[in-house]
Every structure is written in C-alpha cells, then in structure tokens.
Amino acid sequence: MPHVLVIGGSDAGVMASLRARELDPSADVTMVLADAYPNFSICGIPFYLSGETPDWHDLAHRTREDIEAAGIDVRTDTRALEIDTASKNVLLSDADGEDWVAYDRLVIGTGAVPVEPPLPGIGLEGVHLLHTMSDTFALEESLRHADRAVIVGGGYIGLEMADALTQRRIEVTLLEQASEVMTTVDLELGSLVGEELRRHGVDVRTSALVERIDREGGGLTISGRGFAPVTGDVVIVVVSVRPDSLLARRAGLPLGMRDAIVVDRCMRTAAPDVLAAGDCVETWHRLLSKPTYMPLGTTAHKQGRIAGENAVGGDRRFEGSLGTQVVKVFDLAVARTGLRSVEATREGIGSVTTQTRTFDHKAYYPGATPMEIRMTGGRDGRLLGAQIVGDHRGQVAKRIDIVATALAAGLNVDQLSDLDLSYTPPLSSPWDPVQMAGQDWVRGVTHVEPPSA
C-alpha cells in the first residue's frame, strides 16, 4: 500500500490526490495544505467580492467532505517546512508542533504567490494583495467601508476586480504600467478593453509607474511617474504571480524559468519519487516544444491529474499547454490561444497577423454583436494562434476553443475552413467567425506554401 503525500490543496494537489485514489484505491493518500480552504477557486474570488456569488463556500470545487469521502486524509493548516529526498520524509508543522512524515511518492503542488513589488507603503493597512481566501476575507472587510479603490495592475485579476468593485458602486481607478491594459493581447485589442472599462466609469491610467503608497488623512495616496497622484480608501496590488518554489529549492530540486520547478513531461522532478505540478512548475509549451512558465488553472488541473496517475505507477505524459485563456470584463469577453506575432518573432518564427471584424451570428437575427478576431499564422501557412474580443454573450470562449483544438491537431490556417462546425442563425453563420478570420488571413498573405511534412 503506497503512501502518496501531496503538498498543496488547490487545483494540482487535489487533482493529484483524487487521481491517485481513483487508480489505486489501496493507496494511502495524505494531502496537506497551509490554510483551511481546500480546492477553493482563486478564479472565482472577484465574483464573490462583486456579490455575484454571494456565499464564499460556493467557490469550493469540492468540499473537504467530498475529498475525504474519496479516501484522502486532509490535513489543513499544516505547513511543509522541509523535504529530505534522501530519506523520503517531509517535515510538517501544525498547531500540535512539528513531525517528520514518510512518503513513498511525493507530489509538490505549492502553486504560486503574488508578486509583492518593493513599494514604500505596501505594508500599510488597507493595501491588499489578492490570492488566497484569507486575502479575500481581509479585502472584503476593507471594502465594507470603502467608497474609492485603486487597483495596481491591468492584467486578468485587475480587470475582473475593476468590474467587481464597480458593481459594488465603488469608484475605481486602475493603474497599468504598460501603454494599454491586458498586455497578453495585442495593443489593438487591449485598447478595446480599456475603452470598455472607461465606458463603465473606471478611471484607467496607462503608462503609469507606481513608486510609493502613503497614508494621507483618511486615505491612501498612490504616486509615481506618468500619472497624477490618486487617493483611495483601499489599494489592491495585483501585478503578477511567481511560483512558490522555496520548499523545492531548499530540497535541492533544480529550478528553471522564473524559478519554477523543473519537471519532465511526466511531471517528475530530478529527485526519485518526487513529482510536482501546477503553478509552481515549468509548463511544456505545445507549439514551441520547450518549457515556459504559464500559471493557469486549466493547466494545473491537467498536470495534477497526471502527477497523481504517475505517483501510483502510471506513465502518463503532459501534452503541453497553448496558453488558452478567456476573461470577462463588463460586457466584453477577451480570449487568446497560441502565439501572437510579437511572441513568434521572439522565438525566431516568421508570422503574419490579420484582423477580422464580423458578427457573432447572422446579422439578420436580433442581437448580433461585432467580434474582433486577430489570426496569426506562420509564413508557411501554419496556424500559430488567435485573439478574440467580443460581447460576452457571443460565444467568444467557443471560438477560441476551436482555434486551440485546431492548434492541437496541427492544422494550418487554410484548414480551418475544412472544419465541420455547427450553424444556426441565432448562434453562428454558415462560415463560423473563426473560419472567416482564417479565410481573411489566407487572402491577406501574398503566398502561402503548404506546411512541410
């Protein structure tokens, strides 16, 4: 009866634990997590704070009782302090003290932590980083007494928080260092997101380099270069995340990009019988065929499932990620997958990107809304990626998933037109918007050679 010890109780850790028990019911699986909230959806935090999901308990993918019913020993409020890979023991600390726990297989799923920029004043009361349920409860308490909020960071969480706080009738200023918000899409689409934020009353200030936070009177004043000082009752700093890999570093495990844990395609680390998965590890990029750092919940679920399978004798391989993402910002949905031209160029890949504006379904059926699609392909016709912005009711997520599936299948841009996709006037057109974008790309490229075999 193998003992599988899993460190971390979020997406990767829970999936690893469940998969190990599913494949080997005799396995003794223990999952330890540093807080009291196993398997809570970090992605759902903005919707709890907005009031759209009023009960925080609903953010749990599975309750503790669900996990324990699968035969998993769940140890909450328990920290892993040290890993001894030679003796195959982990030093755990909880309210009762410290003890060494032996394992036959170890899965590290410690996730990521928010980047805390070195700003004077970042430790002031009312300044919040946002990642855990404890962070969420602290912010919720601050928001009860807030009329004005300043968000530092215009990425996914920053945008969702601007939406959430506006719904709470809190005045929001968003500061972004780049020239447009949402730098994971091209400027042409990021500008549309900025316009949407402003349309809903968010004061968006781009090219804003935050340098300090001060308490002045009853508020917090943020100052820096490229913007006039702004004051709020609450400041939320959501600039980025980094892998929580300190435990692995102390154990002597090799770290790679952005200090993420190095793993092979089977989620194995360099230490025998030690696997790792989720936001703490490097991710195999399916198009580039090399590791990168790409912290995504969908990826963490897949990697955790593979780590759990291989922890009980499997040999499953992670096929890689394309960075497929979608976010809702007020009435817009913004999605991407694969590579943008700027990313392809960085990798030495020649590419062409075209932009298509079309309706999400037949224009004669009521409610048709415009959709902007940027399609990227290699100069040899190879499909590389796409970005889409449209009304959140217009099935943007479905369209980006079509491209992600085509990328996984190795299709070229022209072959998008060969896909047999569904059609009815209220939902699409005989040529789906993604296919129309592919056809525009082919027309826009002077000469497209078939991809080499």
Q: What is the pLDDT of residue 42?
A: 85
Q: Which CATH architecture has domain 325-444?
A: 3-Layer(bba) Sandwich (3.50)
* Phi, psi for 346 (deg, rounded to 5): -60, -30
Two tokens, residue 157: 């969480």
What are 260-310's pLDDT values in tens digits?
A: 999 999 999 999 999 999 999 999 999 999 999 999 999 999 999 999 999
pLDDT band at 446 (very low <50, low <70, confident <90, very high): low
Place of tokens 């020993």: 73
Cα-atom radius of gyration of the chain, to the nearest Å?
23
Two tokens, residue 411: 């299709």
- 307 vs 41 pLDDT, higher one: 307
Nearest to 106 by CA among 30, 35, 39: 30
Q: Running DSSP on this structure, what letter comes out for residue 432?
A: -
Q: Is the pLDDT of residue 152 over 70?
A: yes
Two tokens, residue 101: 């726990």
Q: Is the pLDDT of residue 436 over 80?
A: yes
Q: Running DSSP on this structure, what letter comes out for residue 321?
A: B
Q: What is the pLDDT of residue 32?
A: 98
What is the SS3 string spanning 188-249? Answer: HHHHHHHHHHHHCCCEEECCCEEEEEEEECCEEEEEEECCCCEEECEEEECCCEEECCHHHH
If DSSP codes are grouped into helix, strand and coil, which group holds residue 27?
Answer: coil
% of the chain at pLDDT higher than 90: 93
Report d(CA 8, CA 2) in Å as an integer. 19
**In whole numbers, what is the pLDDT of the chain averaged over residues?**
95
The class (CATH top level) of 3-39+59-112+242-311 is alpha beta
Q: What is the pLDDT of residue 61?
A: 86
Domain with CATH 3.50.50.60 in the chain: 3-39+59-112+242-311, 116-239, 325-444
Q: Is the pLDDT of residue 453 over 70?
A: no
Two tokens, residue 146: 């807030």
What are 74-95's pLDDT values in tens digits?
A: 999 999 999 999 999 999 999 9
Q: What is the CATH number of domain 116-239?
A: 3.50.50.60
What are 45-75's pLDDT values in tens digits?
A: 999 999 999 999 888 888 899 999 999 999 9
User: How far from each other are the two terminal CA atoms of the chain, in whole angstroms?
Assistant: 47
What are 199-238's pLDDT values in tens digits?
A: 999 999 999 999 999 998 889 999 999 999 999 999 999 9
* Number of Cβ within a 10 Å radius of residue 392: 17
What are 245-262's pLDDT values in tens digits?
A: 999 999 999 999 999 999
